[in-house]
Amino acid sequence: MDSEFWIKKWQQGDTRFHQAKFHPALEKYSQLFSPGKVLVPLCGKSLDMLYLASRGHLVIGVELSIIACRDFFKENEISFTEKAVEDFIVFESDKVTLWCGDFFKLPEHVWHEVSGIYDRAALVALPEEMRQRYAAEIVKHRKESLGILLISFEYPKDTIEGPPFSVTEEEIKRIFGPLDIQKLQSETETKYTKDHPKLKSIDLTETVFWLV
């Protein structure tokens, strides 16, 4: 799986993974974030970014698809500017900035500004080898004040072909090894997964973690 996989998804309009509502776990646990900027990796056009902004955070999203970035602002009627910065196209509004490009090339100065990370569907969107790279990138940039709200899926092996992939608690502990990992909640048949076109018919557990 490479960047073209996701870019083609948006080009073809195959965005059934997009949810037209806030994730209930975000509404429940967003108070855990320190004031400041929250990074949302592989953000798509998630409405969760609007929720974080409504809670007073500045939001930094990272997304491969320029279609997703433009749609986020246009569909929510948010004025924005667009400019090239290094390997990215940067879309910027008062409260939300989207870096369109490769997450692994995000400039160091952006990481320095981040006080929290919200991962609703980034880790589970990646195959195993890329999950290791993704976690290593976050661990490399971790700092004492940085908290990560992570939502993960787990389902029996070979039930469906990912993405989203099944990611166990054991794997999360392994790849985010240096961080303290707290399980906040674990549910089956959540409202979110029942509405998900690919997940609604399988035996799945959704778990929310807080990493610091």
Question: What is the model's pLDDT at position 14?
Answer: 72
From 15-19, 54-58, 130-134, the region with the lowest mean pLDDT: 15-19
- Kindly provide the residue ranges of all beta strands, DSSP E only, lying in 8-106, ordered along the sequence: 37-41, 58-63, 81-85, 88-92, 96-100
What is the arrangement of strands in the sheet containing 58-63, beginning at the earlier edge strand?
Answer: 81-85, 88-92, 96-100, 58-63, 37-41, 114-119, 147-154, 205-211, 181-188
- Write down the pLDDT at residue 39: 98
165 neighbors 124 (Cβ within 8 angstroms): yes
Residue 1: predicted pLDDT: 56
For 44, counting Cβ atoms within 10 Å of its Cβ (0-12 exposed, 13-18 middle, 19+ buried), the class is: buried
Residue 45 confidence (pLDDT) above 90: yes
pLDDT at 192: 56
Is residue 18 predicted with pLDDT exceeding 70?
no
Report the amino acid identity of residue 97.
T
List b or e across 88-114, with b for residues whose CB sees 16 or more CB atoms inside 10 angstroms. bebbbbeebbbbbbebeebeeebbeeb
Residue 142 has a pLDDT of 87
% of the chain at pLDDT higher than 90: 77
φ/ψ of 186, rounded to 5, equals -145, 125
What's the maximum distance between 2 C-alpha atoms anywhere in the chain? 44
Structure confidence at residue 64 (pLDDT): 96
Distances (CA, A) of 173 to 138, 168, 176, 181: 14, 9, 5, 7
Residue 3 is predicted with a pLDDT of: 80
> Higher model confidence: residue 19 or residue 138?
138
- Listed range (7-11, 83-87, 116-120, 175-179) with the worst mean pLDDT: 7-11
Model's pTM, two decimal places?
A: 0.93
Structural domains in the chain, CATH included, are 3-12+22-211 (3.40.50.150)
Q: At what angle do helices 3-11 and 66-75 cross, to 10 degrees?
A: 40
pLDDT tens digits, residue range 57-85?
999 999 999 999 999 999 999 999 999 99
pLDDT value of position 15: 67
